[in-house]
């Protein structure tokens, strides 16, 4: 087990979050769905390094992105179908009266390694950010190859 500080853990997880978004933007099939790209950016910003999940509601995303709820819902489905996100819980009630699902960030259709910030490594990995089986780094499922 690694003994790392909370700040180092947060830095590593945030680096993976940015690598995830870079890889999403490189997905040629996803570029045919600009709404999905916008929702992916929203999800990246909703990701919390402390918990390792992105938590959002369709209604909240629709309001913040100035989109119809059904457009956000379809975009989320495209991201799920392409393997970029996976729902882990939901809906989760919030103090403010809204509910949200929680998602982990995954390696996409090519199962990309998320620790490669340049996006060129396409080694299969089952890599996820925020899986329930996280190790001390907070990176879920490990980044095994």
Residue 82, classed as helix, strand or coil, is: coil
Q: How many other β-carbons are positioned within 10 Å of the β-carbon of residue 30?
A: 21
Which tokens is 15 given?
A: 């680096």
> Residue 142 class from Cβ within 10 Å (0-12 exposed, 13-18 middle, 19+ buried)?
middle
Topology (CATH level 3) of domain 6-129: Arc Repressor Mutant, subunit A (1.10.10)
- pTM of the predicted structure, to 2 decimals: 0.72
pLDDT in tens, 27-66: 999 999 999 999 999 999 999 888 888 999 999 999 999 9
Positive/negative CA dihedral, 121, 126, 129, 133: negative
pLDDT per residue as tens digits for the range 90-136:
655 556 666 788 999 999 888 776 654 443 433 333 344 544 333 33
């Amino acid at each position: 087990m690694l003994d790392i500080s909370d700040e180092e853990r947060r830095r590593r997880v945030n680096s993976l979050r940015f690598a995830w978004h870079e890889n999403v933007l490189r997905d040629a099939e996803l570029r045919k769905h600009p709404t999905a790209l916008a929702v992916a950016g929203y999800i990246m910003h909703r990701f919390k390094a402390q918990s390792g999940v992105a938590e959002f509601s369709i209604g909240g995303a629709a309001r913040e992105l100035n989109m119809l709820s059904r457009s956000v819902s379809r975009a989320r489905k495209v991201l799920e179908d392409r393997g970029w996100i996976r729902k882990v819980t939901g809906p989760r009630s919030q103090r403010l009266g809204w509910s949200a699902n929680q998602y982990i960030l995954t390696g996409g259709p090519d199962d990309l390694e998320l620790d490669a910030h340049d996006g060129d490594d396409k080694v299969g990995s089952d890599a996820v950010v925020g899986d329930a089986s996280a190790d001390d780094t907070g990176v879920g499922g490990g980044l095994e190859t």
